[in-house]
Amino acid sequence: MPDIVGKEWSVQPGYFNTALRGIPPRASVEAAQRTLALWSRGDLDWIEWLDDVERVRSEFATLLGMSPTQIGVGHTTAALVNVVAANLKAGSRVLIPEKEHNSNTIPFVTQQHRGIVVDTAPCDDLVTHISGEHAVVALSLVQSIDGCIADLRTISQACRSTGTLLCVDVTQAAGWLPFDASLADIIVCSSYKWLMGPNGPAFICLRRDLVEAFRQLQPNWFACNEPHAAPYGVQFAPATSARKFDVVPGLISASALLPSLVLLNTIGVSSVHRHNTALSERLCARLSVAYNGSSIVMLEVPGAVQKLKTRGIRATIRGDRVRIAIHIYNDMEDVEALVTAVLAPPTKK
């Protein structure tokens, strides 16, 4: 996709850190700057600003293939997982992968005062641990720690056979990995990684009956049935759609994310998937590393900080372990530069 990348992004070569933070397209940067300019002049129309949230909701629904009425818009994944945790019956059991990101664990662990019990199991063996004793299975579709892709269909079948809710965090998947959102009962997603938006908005998508059954955790004027009405007094009714889980958006969050979502829906997630995985597979072949089908590749690189940072390669580095995340704005030149850096002999001290 070199033509569209050069037109839509300004990212410098060697950026492999989308799993930490995505790079916005130029249109998103311009939209954020436009909002700030309107604010600075006193010309910001607050109704148009809030209506951006509805357009964002619609575009995210399109990305998932779901209805906008099933989508709530919050600030963070953890806060939205809290909606699920707080709606569990006291004494419920939850099953999560052993090395799950703590945005999906903390909300459940902190419900221990209500008798909530959290069980863990290896991600690749999770399905064999699902039982009717579990109220919820919560996991990331793509694991942040190593890019492992969960078998969503098999896990969904196991949950439905036992009457267990399935809560799936697609933060590391949405924007590059095609998946069937209807296999999950609840989906949560942050937008600042593969969706290439700012911190916030974050999304929760719920099965239709759960929209009605789950109580609001953060009632507020924006989640009311008439958010544009004067926000005074004690007479108000919550929204009847998943909008009842909304919170008031940040100043630039919706306007900055909207162009990125539009662009992803225009390009198509399947096209992004083909692009990303072709580069990831090429990288693994060049370095003789087993490929797991993901846009996230884990490498062991002795002296990683010195080798990569001195050559302008940006990735998540912990010791000699390097997490490489390949997205739409990466190309084969990036991959070859990374290979050269990884294979370079250590610098003499």
Question: What tens digit of pLDDT does each residue of 12-31 get?
Answer: 999 999 999 999 999 999 99
pLDDT of residue 1: 64
Per domain, the residue ranges of the chain are 2-23+268-343, 29-265
Which long-range contacts (C-beta less than 8 Å, at least 24 apart) are formed by 187-190? 187/64, 188/77, 188/80, 188/81, 188/104, 189/60, 189/77, 190/76, 190/77, 190/103
Summarize pLDDT for 303-332 with one digit per residue, the tens.
999 999 889 999 999 999 999 999 999 999
Cβ neighbours of residue 137 under 8 Å, at least 6 residues apart?
A: 94, 95, 96, 126, 130, 155, 159, 164, 165, 166, 167
Q: Say if CB 280 and CB 297 are below 8 A apart.
A: yes
CATH number of the domain at 29-265, please? 3.40.640.10
pLDDT of residue 81: 98
Q: Enter the tokens of residue 96.
A: 């999560």
Instruction: Look up tokens 């007094």; give the residue.
Output: 233
Q: Enter the tokens of residue 276.
A: 């990303």
Q: Say if CB 76 and CB 200 are below 8 A apart.
A: yes
Summarize pLDDT for 40-70 with one digit per residue, the tens.
999 999 888 888 999 999 999 999 999 999 9
Residue 345's pLDDT band (cuts 50, 70, 90): confident
CATH number of the domain at 2-23+268-343, please? 3.90.1150.10
Nearest Cα neighbor of 8 from 328, 280, 315, 277 is: 328
The pTM of the whole model exceeds 0.85? yes
